Structure 1
Amino acid sequence: MGETVNIKALDGSGEFAAYLAKPATDGPAPSVVVIQEIFGVNEGIRKKCDKLAADGYVAIAPDLFWRQEPGVDLTDKSKEEWDRAFDLMNGFDADKGVEDIEATIKVVRGHDATGDKVGCVGYCLGGKLAYMTAARTDIDASVGYYGVGIDEMLDEAKAIANPLLLHVAEEDGFVDKDAQAKMHQALDPHPKVTLHDYPGCDHAFAREDGISRVEAAAKLADERTMAFFKQHLG
């Protein structure tokens, strides 16, 4: 069970909430910033945090939609929620989102429950933001699940200095085969980037309780993510 903490924005414009889950064991632990989908910090994202905490990580999910509407908590179960989620995504400033992730990184680096190492993991919109975070911050390790729009910012790859793992759904309705090919062409040669493809999987195959979840693929991707964090965060 987690708690809510508040984080001050780096630009001085206010503060935003974040869901924080800590391991049951005492002592400092590596931390992971969990980056939301277009549905906000909902039950699925909180479950991701709780699972990471159970595996020994301090997990924190910042509310990145706070500049538009604080406390967004939607699901993928109704058209009305999808419409609202897309409205929020379309009005979202990704650059400011990365700033808020950076503010979160700074907070957890100084938190008494955390060690020096900080990673991030993002899903959907968060998958793209994880890529941007790898390129623009001092994050120690980043993971992105089915990020949308990465193919449009491949020029930022040259700034990636620490390990990045990307999970790619081969039948992603939001990331076509041409976009996937561009990602592989640009990122496969990068010494810090690893891409894994998931045949037959659509977007959001690892969403907790999601309508597109593919259990076997989600399990495999999550196992790879945890092995990656163990290697690079400890």
Structure 2
Amino acid sequence: MQITQETRDLNTATGLMRCYIYRPAMEGAFPSIIFYSEIFQHTAPIARSAAMMACQGFVVIVPEVFHELNPIGTVLGYDDAGKDKGNNDKWTKPLADHDSDTAAMIEFCQTSPYCNGHIGAMGVCLGGHLAYRAAINPAIKSAFCLYATDIHSNTLPAPDAEQSLARMKDIQGEIFFVWGKQDPHVPHEGRQTLYQHCIASGINYQWLEVNAVHAFMRDEGERYDGALALQMYQQATALFQRTLR
């Protein structure tokens, strides 16, 4: 399936947010996936991942996750300077502001002529956390969360009652967690904490642990595992095709 790309600037509770939209290059209305990036924002690997999912018949929306903290169009480098800036932004932006960003994208998906109103969420690293967080909104039917950081540790800015782990019970749709067993950012103990919360909360979830390091989906650098990445795209596509009908 051929796709087309465009940008849209959405009004949010905390200012204008640039979004990159990848969608089928044909007439019709399609299911939507909000695709949350790493701390580096809309990098080339994120763009390729979004395009891959759009080619499966979805409208994929990639927001600038730190739009309040950077000029529109900011892309951070995969280097120490980019990592330091992105992590500082991560510790600065409250989860409530990510929630209002998600609400703005949901409204867009519910009103756009090329979206059919059925919405999922997907993300990597910080974006995996934000996809999980998006699933707290009842409009999100399913979420595919790849090596989601900081859920188990309750370390992003929010009151205790609003921390993402405490909100798990509010998830109504289906959620699919993917973890790398060799990922130091979410170690075994952290994964066990999350797994036990999944059981206790009664949510509808799938759980997959693979032999991989952090950021194995990123097709730049030494961490990339292309064979595993292909499997993840297939798993995500199957989830969304089933749940976003």
After TM superposition, the score normalised by the length of structure 2 is 0.88
Is the counterpart of residue 7 in structure 1 residue 10 in structure 2? yes
Corresponding position of 1:196: 208
For 2:105 and 2:190, how far apart are their aligned partners in 1? 30
- From 173, 178, 182, the counterpart of 1:171: 182
Structure 1 distance, partners of 2:129, 2:199, is 17
For the 8 Å contact 1:42–1:72, the answer to whether it is kept is no
Query: Which secondary structure does the structure 2 equivalent of 1:103 belong to?
Result: helix
How far the C-alpha of 1:188 sits from its partner, in A, is 4.2
Measured after TM superposition, the shift of residue 35 of structure 1 is 0.6
- Residues in 1 aligned to 2:128 and 2:103: alpha-carbon distance in whole angstroms: 15
Task: Name the aligned partner's letter for residue 75 of structure 2.
Answer: D
Whole-angstrom CA distance in 1 between matches of 2:175 and 2:51: 22
- CA distances 1:43-91 after superposition (whole Å, capped 9, x unpaired): 2222222112211111111112111003221232x22222222222222
Equivalents in 2 of 1:219, 1:116: separation in Å?
27
Partner amino acid, structure 2, of 1:136: N
Query: Counterparts of 1:211 and 1:22 in 2: how far apart (Å)?
Result: 30
Q: Distance in 1 between matches of 2:135 and 2:87?
A: 25
Q: Which residue of 2 aligns with 1:51?
A: 52
Write the distance in 2 (CA, Å) between the matches of 1:217 and 1:6.
33
Take 2:217 and 2:199, find their aligned partners in 1: how far apart are those partners? 23
- Match of 1:205? 216
Relative to structure 2, which stretch is displaced further, 29-38 or 89-98? 89-98
**Match runs of 1:16-35 below 5 Å:** 16-35=17-36
Give the number of aligned pairs: 230
Offset of 1:210 from its aligned partner?
4.2
Q: 1:198 to 1:191 in 2, by over 3 A?
A: same
Between 188-197 and 176-185, report the one with greater CA deviation: 188-197
Within 5 Å, which residues of 2 pair with 1:180-191? 180-188=191-199, 190-191=202-203
Question: What is the CA-CA distance between 1:115 and the residue it aligns to?
Answer: 0.5
Identity of aligned residues (%): 24
User: Is the alpha carbon distance of 1:137 and 1:62 closer, same or farther for their aligned partners in structure 2, counting shifts above 3 Å?
Assistant: farther
Equivalent residue, structure 2, for 1:231: 242
Contact 1:188 1:195 in 2 (8 A): no
Q: Which runs of 4+ in 1 moved over 4 A?
A: none
1:214 paired residue number = 225
- Mapping of 1:8-157 within 5 angstroms? 8-9=11-12, 11=13, 13-70=14-71, 71-76=73-78, 78-151=79-152, 152=154, 153-157=164-168
Match of residue 161 from structure 2:
none
Structure 1 stretch displaced more, 148-157 or 160-169: 148-157
Normalised TM-score (structure 1): 0.92
Matching residue's letter, 2:208? H
CA distance in structure 2 between the partners assigned to 1:220 and 1:83 by the alignment: 31
Partner Cα separation in structure 2 for residue 39 and residue 181 of structure 1: 28
Q: 1:14 to 1:191 in 2, by over 3 A?
A: closer
Show structure 1 runs of 5+ residues with no match. Answer: none
Per the TM alignment, residue 97 of structure 1 is displaced from its structure 2 partner at its CA by: 1.2
Output the CA distance in 1 between the equivalents of 2:199 and 2:237. 21
How far is 1:136 from its partner? 3.5
Give the RMSD, CA atoms, in angstroms.
Answer: 1.6
